[in-house]
Copies of this chain bind each other. A is one copy, B any other.
Amino acid sequence: MYLRNAWYVAGWDSEFKQGALTARKLLGDDIVFYRREDGQLTALEDRCCHRAAPLSKGELEGDALRCMYHGLLFDCHGRCIEVPGQERLSDKMRVRAYPVEIRDNLVWIWMGDSSSARPEDIQRLHWANKEGWSVEEGRYLHYDSSVQLIVDNLLDFSHLGYVHGKSIGTRRQGSIRPETQFSSESVSVRFTTMNSGAPAFARELGQLPDTVDRFNYYVWHIRGNLFVQDSVIAPVGEGYESAAPSTMKLHTFIALTPETETTAHYFWATAHNNFSSSVSDLTQKLTAQVEYAFDEDRRIIEAQQQVLRSAPDAPMIAIAADATLLRVRRMLDAMIASESGPNVPAQTAH
């Protein structure tokens, strides 16, 4: 069961090459992406309406895509515009087309009812392509777990002390409670760790004192599974707005798009200020540190998923730190339930 009326991240702009057919499964739907001659993206159901051959094995002809089994040709709206050897074309001969938009190096796709897709609802990244912020090309992790288990992880800071105790977290963070503020479709989380040891990655790359103040402020957007975080590591007392040159300022973006009910796409990027002029390849090194930490998450979450596969009905006993994630899960369930009538069918053209 997916929330379908949402802009989900389908990939990084750079993944979709001119002239290529790119197949990706999103929310259980097989989708083929290609660029039209003007460079804009088309996303079609990756299954010919005739005999179900994958269109991603087809061939582009201008802005149209030909199925290479029996030769049906589809335009970029999913309409069949040619059936070899046949004059009359039925209106039923079509595949589903998905609204797609490119913003901030990301490809966004609307998985629900096309008529309600509003590009202005797409979450923007104010730092993308802005002077003063450095970032590597967007990264990708494939998860052999449900999106839900990853969401749980992102909404909980207590794991910082254990999963990441030797990388981006410190043991003391395991018992700090964040402040949270809920709105109708998101939650804002403020997690501060004052006057505490700097985490390993900061000690390695930065020029901060051993003791620092940390500010992790983020918003979790339920619709589309988006994590948008500003984080600051500053000398003690300098505050979130610290202007000290050694202050580390990071913007981290994570988008989770279900592949299936039990696997997930994890797109992410971390942009940073120039907190250290003496470290060469700073962006690359920082990205590697964050990637290492995200992989720590992946390993424990996939292990958790494995356990849940072999005992799906095992009870889970909540602790105090679970309040946020449990509330978000209830909000998501309500949002899914409120999608008008039965869920938008996943696999039919409309």
Binding site for B on A (CB under 8 A): 30, 46-47, 49-54, 57, 66-72, 83-86, 90, 92-93, 152, 156, 158-159, 161-163, 174-177, 299-300, 303-304, 306-308, 310-311, 314-321, 347-348
Given contacts A85-B176, A174-B85, contact A70 B319 (CB under 8 A): yes
Q: For A67, list chain B residues within 8 Å (CB).
A: 162
Given contacts A69-B162, A93-B317, contact A174 B47 (CB under 8 A): no
Q: Point out the residue from B70, B304, B315, B347 that lies within 8 Å of A53, measured CB to CB.
A: B304
Distance in Å from the Cβ of A165 to the closest Cβ of chain B? 8
Q: Point out the residue from B72, B175, B307, B348 that lies within 8 Å of A47, measured CB to CB.
A: B307
- CB pairs A–B below 8 angstroms (22 shown): A30-B307, A30-B311, A47-B311, A47-B314, A50-B316, A50-B317, A51-B304, A52-B311, A52-B316, A53-B307, A54-B307, A66-B162, A67-B162, A69-B162, A69-B300, A69-B304, A70-B174, A71-B159, A72-B319, A84-B161, A90-B317, A93-B319
Distance in Å from the Cβ of A296 to the closest Cβ of chain B? 10
Q: Point out the residue from B52, B71, B158 that lies within 8 Å of A70, measured CB to CB.
A: B158
Is the pair A300, B68 in contact by a Cβ cutoff of 8 Å?
Answer: yes
State how many copies of this chain the complex holds: 3
Is the pair A321, B163 in contact by a Cβ cutoff of 8 Å?
Answer: no
Is the pair B174, A319 in contact by a Cβ cutoff of 8 Å?
Answer: no
Is the pair A348, B315 in contact by a Cβ cutoff of 8 Å?
Answer: yes
